[in-house]
Amino acid sequence: MAVPFEVVRAPAEMRARAEDQRRDGRRVCVVPTMGYLHDGHVSLLRAGRSRADLLVMSLFVNPTQFAAGEDLSRYPRDEAGDLDKARAAGVDLVFAPDAAAMYPDGYQTTVEVRGLAAPLEGRSRPGHFSGVASVVAKLFHLTMPHVAIFGQKDYQQLLIVRRMVRDLDFGVEIVGMPIAREPDGLAMSSRNAYLSPEERAQAVCLSRGLRAAESLHAGGERGAGALVAAARAPIEASPLARIDHVELRDAETLAEIDRASAPAVLAMAVHFGRTRLIDNALLG
């Protein structure tokens, strides 16, 4: 039975709808988003559509994953446009609560995945992943999915969600989808809207650095120093770029490694003015 496109605001109503769908034997998929959808989000929605009877998209700019001084107040928003894109991608139900509904007065519970959350983004953005894990846990309880779709651009987030699901026995299949890129290689991101034309032109240095490291790795290089240096070179040559980190880590544990002798992730974060971009590549 087809489900008409609908927007649900209240957490209790979302939970009731999910319970009804599961009771009827329907497979539920959720795609968590913070809105301002681009083609990368749409690719996740299409992947979810092919995996479930009921496709739920959450639309919630989660305040608890933004630290003081970060871009919560200016994070781009376009709910009307997001709903149009969601409907066109085959979404059945959009869960779009407000912050007061998700974090009512007296709320004081958080979820923390300690080891995986410590390096990389966790070091640069303290508390970020606690906010992410907590809101994803809430979304899973409210939408009751069999499967959830995440993009690999937020690679560390993907690992953290998988670990949380495993450790807390959520019973949700976590599917990671490849990074969606612009024609020039820049990873699609809602924050790309912040970039000035000159910053946007130089921002391709991230993907160029990753491609350089991938090429070196494909040629047999395994040393972390050489691979990181190859990735940094195009970024350091871009006058507007300011590196936060470029690091090679074990692809499963995010432990520091000297050699990419096992699957590794080359992860980076780079500032352009007030805009912070992330990207990564899997090696091996």
pLDDT of 3 > 90? The answer is no
pLDDT band at residue 4 using 50, 70 and 90 as cut-offs: confident
pLDDT tens-place string over residues 238-271:
999 999 999 999 999 999 999 999 999 999 999 9
Find the CATH number of the domain harbouring 228. 3.30.1300.10
* Residue 184 counted as domain residue: no
Instruction: Identify the pLDDT of residue 129.
Output: 98
User: Does residue 1 register a pLDDT over 60?
Assistant: no
Q: Are residues 13 and 144 in the same domain?
A: yes
Give the total number of structural domains in the chain: 2
Same-domain check for residues 110 and 14? yes
Per the residue annotation, which of 38, 41, 141, 271 is the catalytic one?
Answer: 41
Check whether residue 106 and residue 197 sit in a common domain: no
Give 239's contacts (C-beta < 8 A, 6+ positions apart).
202
Segments forming the whole domain that contains residue 255: 190-283
Q: Do both 157 and 195 map to the same domain?
A: no
Q: 1 in a domain, yes or no?
A: no
Measured between alpha carbons, how far is 244 from 83 in angstroms, rounded to an integer? 34
Pair (202, 249) in one structural domain: yes
| Residues 111 and 135 grouped into a single domain | yes
Residue that is last in its domain, among 177, 199, 223: 177
On the question of pLDDT at 275 being above 90, the answer is yes
Q: Does residue 185 sit within a domain? A: no
Quick: pLDDT tens for 143-183.
Answer: 999 999 999 999 999 999 999 999 999 999 999 999 999 99
Q: Has residue 2 got a pLDDT over 80?
A: no
Whether 245 is a known active-site residue: answer no
